[in-house]
Structure 1
């Protein structure tokens, strides 16, 4: 069939999907992250990873009363992670100012963040959410353009944004202003939505999508992106990676060899066009939800925010 991309059976995705929909409804973010890390790196040491997480949980627990409210626990967690002191050997976790766009895709993994203590807007909120859940907090991940942040539920059921790169509790209006989020994007649910734990797993998969895009076949990326969309039909990144899988296949079959439709026999020309059409169809679908590719002006504004971060944090 023209335009087909072979999606191979991936045991890692079966595990992640099962973890996203446990019988008791409780999604364990630690187990999900371990599955993601193993899918990215088969030699991943889950035991050491768990021990590191438990260490930081113990440090936070020692700083708060047993029945402290969620906001108090989150404040203590933020201090332990981000403020220099004996609790973190005067080596706090911080934003990776050398790779602000996360172009080194391995840097998006939580395991890299724990090892280097330098993170980005994917790994930083994810670690906060994982540690928060271990501390008894109710947390999820939310999306903004090229950005993720955590959300925390307080004792009254209200949700607060937790900006993982600070941390701080920014109102939606700050994200709307800083990232030019439109009402259409909010109404469609692709940005600033409080996700369910099931949908949060889709957000956690963003680093694995980057790994698959660089290290695996286009069909592997397509299978993963399809899982992301299945878990959360409003996850814009999932659609973008679906489209990217078709483009990567088009690139592999034709563009890398500088082949265009005019140079191809009819059957291959039909295949070329079908791959192109699939890529375009998926992008149009997510664009109808309000997604737009990042622009040079937005990248410039983002780098300006990084410079302000450097100035504030002495970077």
Structure 2
């Protein structure tokens, strides 16, 4: 019973983290160009406990690290460093494909091809009554392990990679759905990770 309660709390916190990304998106929107991944070094990467994450200013929080640390509260055997290394590996593979001169459409297309075609990430069936209830459908470590997730889990993966690449992409919460949006202040593209990154009309 206690474990089920913790899962419910964790789901609520994960949702809050996603909303937090949307709130401080102006930090990303005004980034003039892609930075090298080697220069991505927020204080959040050095946090090892949830308490250390919570005292950081928004711009110093690393989304992936915060989620991994939170997940370890649920599963003490979980290897945070190993999962973060996988996120870094994916970001590095994307970094060499994306140029600062690329259009927003091309950037989104490159990420979508990498995630949904080459790495075969896919959405679970929204008709599943447990679609937004089961922790493994939303938790980033589970999404990475299974290559499947719901709209929250896949959006978190997209946001974690975009954050490392300094891309102006943030989370959007719509009625009964979550997706991501590219917005550099000039061009806005809605990206639906549950539909292989298609431009959603929501």
If the length of structure 1 is used for normalisation, what is the TM-score?
0.43
**Paired residue secondary structure (2:132):** coil
Tell me which of the two structures has the higher relative contact order, counting C-alpha pairs closer than 8 angstroms and 6 or more residues apart.
2
Q: Is 1:93 aligned to 2:126, yes or no?
A: no
Aligned residues: CA RMSD: 2.6
Alpha-carbon distance, 1:171 to partner: 2.8
CA distance in 2 between counterparts of 1:106 and 1:48 reads 18
Structure 2 equivalent of residue 183 of structure 1: none
Q: Does the alignment pair 1:146 with 2:180?
A: no
Unaligned residue ranges in structure 2 (runs of 5+):
1-47
Distance 1:170 1:133, change over 3 A: same
Structure-1 separation of matches of 2:112 and 2:138: 20
Distance 1:76 1:47 in 2: 26
SS at match of 2:189: strand
Matched, 1:162 2:162: no
Check the 8 A contact 1:141/1:150 in 2, yes or no: yes
Tell me the TM-score normalized by structure 2: 0.64
* Aligned twin of 1:17: 54
CA displacement 1:32-72 (0-9 Å, x = unmatched)? 22232223323221111111112211222233335434442
Residue 111 (str. 1) matches residue 141 (str. 2): yes
Deviation at 1:153, TM superposition (A): 1.6
> Does the alignment pair 1:81 with 2:110?
no
1:56 to 86, 90, 94: 90
Deviations 1:273-307 (A, max 9, x none): xxxxxxxxxxxxxxxxxxxxxxxxxxxxxxxxxxx
After the TM superposition, which segments of 4 or more aligned residues of structure 1 sit over 4 Å from their partners?
none
Partner SS for 1:72: helix
Number of corresponding residues: 152
Deviations 1:163-185 (A, max 9, x none): 1212112233xxxxxxxxxxxxx
Residue equivalent to 1:65? 99
Give, in angstroms, the shift of residue 12 of structure 1.
Answer: 5.9
Max Rg structure: 1
1:38 and 1:44 in contact (8 A); partners too? yes
- Structure with bigger helix share is 1
